[in-house]
Chain A
Amino acid sequence: MLLVLSEEQKGHLGCLPRVGGAAVGELGRLAVELLRRGAAPRACETAARKLNTGVDTIQHGVEGLMYLLTESSKLMISEIDFQDSIRVLGFSEELNKLLLQLYLDNRKEIRSILTELAPKLPSYHSLEWRLDVQLASRSLRQQIKPAVTMKLHLNQNEDQTAQVLQTDPSTLVHLIQQLEQALGEMKTNHCRRIARNMK
């Protein structure tokens, strides 16, 4: 699979051959930092001053490099495909090798950062429960009505929400049976075969 770069991105990356080999390493490090922690305008300014170029050029270069790295890591393209994709930029062999090394070194980390960007459903945090017995109400005295009240705490992207549910014991038993059946599905031959093939 080849990576297709737009004209604008080629322009951004065009500053790389001008700054030289060591600086490309520095820009690569900035690009990975940008992925890890977000924008760092001061670091770009210091780099621009060191290399005697405009801040904008450095910023574009870092962003272009970041795009190159994320797209390649996302698609998990092989070394040959990566080299073919950047050959179209017309850089020197040395620069190409540097970029390839940058890609291979940081691929795993970039992929782990990218997995965290996938949308997530609310996940289980904890469950509080309480067993009550209703003895009387305004309309009827001398009752015995057991009820289980539950508070389900959920986590979604650091937001905590809570759902309050109430059920009678027979529904609770049914709920437990359904959940145990669901767990039991993992032990059937069908699921076992799929799990084995995924490993």
Chain B
Amino acid sequence: MRFRFCGDLDCPDWVLAEISVLAKISSVKLKLICAQVLRELLGEAIDYEKILKLTSDAKLESGDVKATIAVLDFIFSSAAKHNVDGESLSSELQQLGLPKEHATGLCRSYEEKQSSLQESLRACSLRLSQLDSVSWRVDYTLSSSELRDVGEPLVHLLLRTRDRGGSVAAVPMAVSADKFRVLLSELKQAQALMKTLL
């Protein structure tokens, strides 16, 4: 059976198994657990103690609690990844055996946070490195050991790039006036192209 929230593929076996565990928790408590899992997906720390308290009624073992968090994590991030709306997610989860109340509560929490989830997923997509800052300085060369009267402007550029790990690398360069003009016009053309796409 193909499910949209699994990307039009079969639902993984472990998800099927854990949905039956989810049904053991009351729907109100499940909605609170969903709120915690969503907070973690959006980058804040997860309050494991709170989740343990919420699941204590259903008498789940510690392995089951972790599995519950894992399956909710999968459902939310997978549904956001494939851009599934709340209604379809609810009906698909009910097909998998989740009771109606639980599915509705879960999907309501999902719908509230869907766009922020997608934003944060977009931000952590693969990206090689990004430009952190640019600093420049214009000098005027008066003379050098080769030629007495040089009289030429010179641009010093310092590009700082930041890679995934957070470390910043500095790329310094000195550009003569003509080369700088070429660089600037090419970059302006690229910017015009990007504007047409936005």
The docked-state distance in angstroms from the alpha carbon of A164 to that of B197 is 27
Residues in chain A near residue B9, CB distance under 8 A: none
B119 within 8 A of A: no
- Shortest C-beta distance, A161 to chain B (Å), equals 12
Cβ contacts A to B, 8 pairs, < 8 Å: A135-B193, A135-B197, A141-B193, A149-B126, A149-B128, A150-B126, A151-B126, A164-B128
A residues near B (Cβ < 8 Å) are 128-130, 135-136, 138, 141, 149-151, 164
> Would you call A136 and B193 a contact (CB within 8 A)?
yes
B116-130 vs A, CB cutoff 8 Å, 1 = contact: the mask equals 000000000111100
B126 engages A130 (CB within 8 Å): yes
- Check B64 for interface membership: any CB of A closer than 8 A: no
**Alpha-carbon distance A135/B193, docked complex (angstroms):** 9
B-to-A contact residues, CB < 8 Å = 125-128, 186, 190, 193, 197
> Are B193's CB and A129's CB within 8 A?
no
Contact indicator A130/B193 (Cβ below 8 Å): no
Known: A128-B126, A149-B128, A164-B128. 7 other contacts (CB 8 A): A128-B125, A130-B125, A135-B193, A136-B190, A136-B193, A149-B126, A151-B126
Q: Which residues of B contact A141 (CB under 8 A)?
A: 193
In angstroms, Cα B185 to Cα A97, docked, is 88
Residue of B nearest to A138 (CB): B186
How many angstroms from the CA of A106 to the CA of B118 in the assembled complex? 53
Q: How far is the CA of A150 from the CA of B127 in the complex (A)?
A: 10
- A43 and B128 CA atoms in complex are apart in Å by 50
Min CB gap B9→A, angstroms: 15
A129 and B197 form a contact (CB under 8 A): no
How far, in Å, is A21 (CB) from chain B's closest CB? Answer: 43
For residue B126, which residues in chain A have a CB less than 8 angstroms away from its CB?
A: 128-130, 149-151
Chain B residues within 8 Å of A164, by CB? 128
Q: How far is the CA of A78 from the CA of B120 in the complex (A)?
A: 60
Q: Which residues of A contact B186 (CB under 8 A)?
A: 138
Chain B residues with Cβ below 8 Å from A130 are 125-127
A-chain residues with CB within 8 Å of residue B193 when the two chains form the complex: 135-136, 141
| A150 partner residues in chain B, CB cutoff 8 A | 126
Contacts of A129 in B (CB 8 A): 126
Cα distance A135–B192 in the bound complex, in angstroms: 13
**B-side contacts of A151, CB under 8 Å:** 126
Q: Which residue of A lies closest to B165 (CB)?
A: A162
B190 to chain A, nearest CB (A): 8
Closest B residue, CB atoms, query A128: B126
Top 5 A-B pairs, shortest CB-CB distance:
A128-B126, A130-B126, A136-B193, A151-B126, A138-B186
C-alpha spacing A141/B125, complex, angstroms: 27
Kindly name the residue among B126, B127, B190, B193 whose own CB sees the greatest number of chain A CB atoms within 10 A: B126
Query: Closest approach, in angstroms, between the C-beta of B151 and any C-beta of chain A?
Result: 31
How far, in angstroms, from A129 to B125 measured CA to CA in the complex? 8
